[in-house]
Amino acid sequence: MQLVAPFNPLSAGSAETLVLFGARVGGLLLVAPALSETIVPRSFRVALLVILTVLLQPVALASMHGVPRVTPETFLTETLVGFAIGLGAALLIGAAEAAGDIVAVQIGLSGSAILDPLSNENMPILGTFLRLFAVTLLLSFNLHLTMLSALADSVHALPVGASLNVKGGLWAMLQLGGALFAFGVRFAAPVIAAVLIANVALAVLGRAAPQLNILSVAFPVQIALGLTTLIASLPAIARFFGGWSGVYDGMLNTIARGFSAVAVR
């Protein structure tokens, strides 16, 4: 185990590393689930930024091979790296919310809204429910500790102030954006399948009994069947989030390869 010297603001490169690593921590807090919500007081986020920067700055300083330069380019690059670390976890939360929105459209509840306690905004009720469900699961599985561990490990894979391939990192982040919709459809797949089968059955019933008002029957059937299927699929969604750290590690490896790849000019 490598021994790390305690925080010393007067050592060579300490001030530069403090500023740049603080930008990386700030980028993480911009998008980190739960920590980036408007319900979290701004003073708390600023205090958390200062504490994390001071505590982890010696680790970042020990992994460097020279004194970094503080320039607008390096500052924005470090912010982008921190943003990418938090993006992996935020994508899973967004996937759950997207699944709720897809389910709401399928069963006819897309117009129903509720106040989201995290963002203090009116959001679709099923999207808000699955978002809070995902946040609760990830926090119970030590989401915050995993992100902090990834932040500390990132200084070895992507040293503070080093020359990084920003275009490659941005492209890797854009590729991961597709995972949001893929996971969202995956979570909502049982409800989509159940509602599709129900619609086919109702269409056949409408042809067999033309005197029956299918529209008045279809709406409550879709809602009841969709909500029942969603409740039945919650344990499967919870099992997926139980192994979320493996998915998160894969996302971080993809982002790290993007940032560390040699840019082609």
Tokens at residue 254, please?
């993809």
Across the chain, what does the average pLDDT equal? 82
Question: In residues, how long is the chain?
Answer: 265
pLDDT one-digit tens code per residue, 139-171: 888 877 888 888 888 888 888 888 888 888 888
pLDDT at 205: 80
* Token reading at 138: 């990830």
Torsion angle of C-alpha atoms 225, 226, 227, 228, degrees rounded to 10: 40
pTM: 0.81
- CB of 252 closer than 8 Å to CB of 152: no
Alpha-carbon distance of 107 to 102, in angstroms, equals 9
The pLDDT score that the predictor gives to residue 16 is 84
**CA 204, CA 185: separation in Å to the nearest integer?**
27
- Residue closest to 95 by CA, chosen among 38, 7, 176, 15: 176
Query: What pLDDT is stored for residue 47 in this prediction?
Result: 92
* pLDDT exceeds 50 at position 262: no
Distance CA 146, CA 56 (A): 15
Contact 92, 137 (CB under 8 A): no
* Highest-scoring range by mean pLDDT, 59-73, 134-148, 222-236, 243-257: 222-236
Q: pLDDT tens-digit profile of 172-188?
A: 888 887 778 888 888 99
Name the residue among 122, 131, 112 with its Cα closest to residue 183: 131
pLDDT digits (tens, 9 = 90+) for 71-127: 888 899 899 999 998 888 888 888 888 898 888 888 887 777 676 666 666 777 888
Reported as a pLDDT band with limits 50, 70 and 90, residue 33 is confident
Instruction: Summarize the confidence of residues 32-54 as an average pLDDT.
Output: 86
Q: Which residue is associated with the tokens 């990192």?
A: 169
Judging by beta carbons within 10 Å of its beta carbon (0-12, 13-18, 19+), is residue 40 exposed, middle or buried? middle
Largest CA distance in the chain: 86
- Contact of 137 with 223, CB cutoff 8 Å: no
